[in-house]
Amino acid sequence: MPYLFTSESVSEGHPDKVSDQISDALIDNFMAFDPSSKVACETLVTTGLVVLAGEVKTQTYLDVQSIAREVIRKIGYTKSEYMFEANSCGIISAIHDQSADINQGVDRKTADDFESKANAQGAGDQGMMFGYATRETDNYMPLALDLAHTILQEMSYIRNNEPNLIPYLRPDAKSQVTIEYSDDNVPQRIDTIVVSTQHDDFAADEEMLAKIKADVINIVIPRVQAKLKADLQALFNDQITYHINPTGKFVIGGPHGDTGLTGRKIIVDTYGGKGAHGGGAFSGKDPSKVDRSAAYATRHVAKNLVAAGLCDEVLVQVSYAIGVAKPCGLFIDTYGTAKVDMTDGEIAQKVAEIFDMRPYAIEQRLKLRNPIYSETAAYGHMGRKNEVVTKTFKGPDGTTVTKEVELFTWEKLDYVDAVKAKFGL
């Protein structure tokens, strides 16, 4: 019997995402000036206030207030009527030194060779991390989440680049997409689309709410549809149920409407509820924290396995003990879609021979000690475009650092040949 599956996304102006972006901007600045920095920083945002807290071990000094204000400004909170504005909000920092008890299991003095470092650098915490991939879309992401992201990205593009097209948009927004699947897990049609967008104040409530609904359906959705390949475009139909700002007016939003916290959108950040999640957030953490680095590594594994033709869908789990380099275990679930005559356990054994999942090896393979994290902090950490960009950072003393960095390295299909060779595909 057909079934429905739903995923949601939130915009860069959502209060939790504002927090994520501030935390990751701090990570990027620490990485730019001291790539060996160990950082775990959390951000809270509310009406007129930003609170920064966390633990840092670094050789650099940052003007955290200026960094936070620049992030808020870039997102679009630049008007006093938002009750949260880049130039006027208060910023409190409670960032302090990292615990030596934690650091002793992560940093150990070793010989200057890969194997010594890889065996010496233990995981920054215990836990399990999951990666997922599916043939559903060209970027190997679940379709419902991919569409939910794309709707909000299109609205953000319009707000920032074509403000006269939909002039009333404000930064905060949420979306949700429900897809009907067949018994054999193939998308059949889009059943429901939900969009709630913050907007400027207006007098004629019913008239304006009708305009918002019409603009989303007649401007945003066709632009999203046009970005898709033909078979996915066909999933759009005139029977879709739309809920556009279903509660009515949405003027009060962003950190004034809801307090935001770093790490509170972990399902939006990953696979929209498909597969599994180990529970650890990403933003605000340097790559020695396996919550982040190993989640990227398992996505890298999963995507390369599916792209190599080993299976149509896969879930990859890795787990660690704090201070220990070797993973506790590697788990594979191909959901019965494997194209080789092996159990998932046998597949996992071979995968472990291809991908070195020790924390230091992950950092090196995916180039994680670079300032690459701000771009991850809105619209998902997975399924994004792998590209090389140049970024410039300015220190509080006027010093600037310019770096060419590779973004979203975990999205590369650079292990497809190795997977094919190992499994005889």
Q: Do 390 and 403 contact (CB within 8 A), yes or no?
A: yes
Q: Write 94-98 long-range contacts (CB < 8 A, 24+).
A: 94/51, 94/52, 94/53, 94/54, 95/41, 95/52, 95/53, 95/54, 95/55, 95/56, 95/64, 96/54, 96/55, 96/56, 97/55, 97/56, 97/57, 98/38, 98/40, 98/55, 98/56, 98/57
Please check if 32 is assigned to a binding site. Answer: no
Please check if 146 is assigned to a binding site. Answer: no
Please check if 170 is assigned to a binding site. Answer: no
Please check if 412 is assigned to a binding site. Answer: no
Please check if 24 is assigned to a binding site. Answer: no
Please check if 265 is assigned to a binding site. Answer: yes
Please check if 326 is assigned to a binding site. Answer: no
> What are phi and psi for residue 289, nearest 5 degrees?
-80, 110
Residues 6 or more apart in contact with residue 90 via CB below 8 angstroms? 48, 49, 50
Please check if 250 is assigned to a binding site. Answer: yes
- Tokens representing 342? 């092996």
Please check if 289 is assigned to a binding site. Answer: yes
Please check if 42 is assigned to a binding site. Answer: yes
| Cβ count within 10 A of residue 210 | 12
Please check if 281 is assigned to a binding site. Answer: yes
- Tokens representing 61? 């000094």
- Tokens representing 352? 């472990």
Helix (H, G, I), strand (E, B) or coil at 265: coil
Please check if 14 is assigned to a binding site. Answer: yes
From the list 34, 13, 324, the residue with the least C-alpha distance to 155 is 13
Please check if 174 is assigned to a binding site. Answer: yes
User: Which segments are annotated as binding site for K(+)?
Assistant: 42
User: Which segments are annotated as binding site for L-methionine?
Assistant: 55, 98, 258, 289
User: Which segments are annotated as binding site?
Assistant: 14, 16, 42, 55, 98, 172-174, 249-250, 258, 264-265, 281, 285, 289
User: Which segments are annotated as binding site for ATP?
Assistant: 14, 172-174, 249-250, 258, 264-265, 281, 285
User: Which segments are annotated as binding site for Mg(2+)?
Assistant: 16
